[in-house]
Amino acid sequence: MSVKEEERDLERAEEYELMYSRGTLRGGNKFELSTGLIIAARFADKLRRVAIVALSKMAPKDVIIRDVSELNMRLHNEIVEKRKIGKLDIIKITVNGYYDQASNKIVWEDYKISKYVSEDEYNKLLKENELLKAENKQLKDKIEEIKKVLG
């Protein structure tokens, strides 16, 4: 990340701090971060900015940026490679973790990626599900017929 990008993120983080916080401190050095609803292409920037705002009083900014970058690489692999989520799909990411002062590192315990679909897409999936159920019923009936003939 360039110095210019880092400065831009710090400026945006200050804006976020004034407008709204997406981080929740859970006592001690534990926390939960949330991106809110965003397009998938913007998750890394949003998560980095939310982390800077929420954790800046807990951990040094360079540690936050370093450790969020590592998390963003893992999340990118999950979003793009495993789940095949498109760049313009709407998602929400929630991350739990804690700051380990002894090792000067943010430890990410777990994360949750939620994908949201439009009503049209939902209806299409619902229709496909109904067709699969009907096909499944037909196959079960055929299996029962074959069992009777063989049995």
Which tens digits make up the pLDDT trace of 58-113?
Answer: 999 999 999 999 999 999 999 999 999 999 999 999 999 999 999 999 999 999 99
Angle between helices 61-76 and 3-19 (to 10 degrees): 90
Domain range for 138: 118-151
Does residue 33 carry a pLDDT above 90? yes
For residue 13, the SS3 value is helix
Q: Are residues 87 and 132 in the same domain?
A: no
Specify the number of domains making up the chain: 2
CB under 8 A, 24+ apart: contacts of 14-18: 14/53, 16/49, 16/50, 16/53, 17/53
Q: What is the mean pLDDT of the chain?
A: 90
pLDDT of residue 151: 79
Q: Are residues 129 and 112 in the same domain?
A: no
Q: Are residues 11 and 52 in the same domain?
A: yes
113: β partners = 93
Q: Are residues 133 and 146 in the same domain?
A: yes
How far apart, in whole angstroms, are the C-alpha atoms of residue 71 and residue 142? 50
What CATH code is carried by the domain that includes residue 37?
3.30.470
* 0.95 surpassed by pTM: no
- Positive or negative torsion for Cα 17, 19, 24, 25: positive
